[in-house]
């Protein structure tokens, strides 16, 4: 799954560089929630870096796997062996400065590809399922133990939302 997320971030980076080369952004990549000293926060899978708002950038993202389902897929079978189709619900958290524009989340979401082609996969389909626009709820889901006043200091300059996406794939 990590290779799919990395390729998605490469795709989005290319789009953002072409759309607005002066925009500063950082993609943390695939992350997971961890607990350390009674604090709960997302960290990256790659290097265990803590995911947080960072004023050096105008746009930040990270992804978390919410759930995984699998089923045998006879219609995708090429022979005797029936392949397994995986369906992953992926949450992408987008934090962007208000100066980019209140509606930027829609532009960003529309940049997601419908599919990806990566060696080792028969296919990868990406289907959006909606935007979670409640800034405080998304913040509390991702950084549940963080003091509310910490978010409060970012409340005015940052918009925070999340996209849930279904990624379906079959590995070769």
Beta carbons of 128 and 168 less than 8 angstroms apart: no
The four Cα atoms 25, 88, 31, 54 give a dihedral, to 10 degrees, of 30
Q: In sequence order, what are the residues at sequence separation of 6 or more whose Cβ sits closer than 8 angstroms to the Cβ of residue 153? A: none
Rounded Cα distance between 19 and 163, Å, is 20
The pLDDT of residue 52: 85
Q: Extract the tokens encoding 112.
A: 């997601």
Weakest-pLDDT range from 36-40, 70-74, 76-80: 76-80
pLDDT digits (tens, 9 = 90+) for 75-109: 777 777 888 999 999 999 999 998 888 889 999 99
The pLDDT of residue 113: 95
The pLDDT of residue 151: 53
The pLDDT of residue 154: 53
The pLDDT of residue 7: 95
CB atoms within 10 A of CB 149: 8
Q: Reduce the DSSP state of residue 75 to 3 states and report it.
A: helix
Query: Per-residue confidence at 119, pLDDT binned at 50, 70, 90?
Result: very high
CB atoms within 10 A of CB 71: 10
Q: Extract the tokens encoding 121.
A: 């996969």
Strand pairing report for 84-97 and 121-132: unpaired
Weakest-pLDDT range from 12-21, 105-114, 127-136: 12-21
Rounded Cα distance between 18 and 165, Å, is 24
Q: In sequence order, what are the residues at sequence separation of 6 or more whose Cβ sits closer than 8 angstroms to the Cβ of residue 105? A: 94, 96, 131, 133, 159, 161
In the chain, what are the domains? 2-171 (3.30.2000)
pTM of the model: 0.86
Pure H helices in the chain: 2-19, 104-110, 135-142, 148-155
């Amino acid at each position: 799954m990590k290779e799919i997320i990395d390729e998605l971030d490469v795709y989005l980076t290319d789009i953002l560089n072409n759309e607005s080369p002066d925009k500063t952004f950082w993609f943390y990549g695939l992350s997971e929630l961890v607990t350390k000293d009674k604090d709960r926060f997302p960290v990256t899978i790659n290097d265990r870096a803590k995911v947080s708002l960072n004023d050096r950038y105008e746009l930040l993202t990270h992804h978390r796997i919410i759930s995984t389902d699998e089923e045998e897929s006879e219609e995708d079978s090429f022979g005797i062996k029936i392949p397994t189709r995986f369906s992953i619900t992926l949450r992408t958290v987008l934090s962007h400065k208000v100066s980019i524009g209140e509606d930027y989340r829609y532009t960003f979401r529309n940049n997601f590809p419908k599919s990806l082609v990566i060696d080792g996969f028969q296919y990868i389909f990406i289907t959006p399922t909606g935007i979670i626009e409640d800034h405080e709820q998304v913040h509390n889901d991702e950084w549940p133990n963080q003091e509310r006043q910490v978010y409060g200091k970012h409340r005015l300059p940052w918009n925070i939302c999340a996209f849930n996406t279904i990624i379906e794939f079959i590995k070769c």
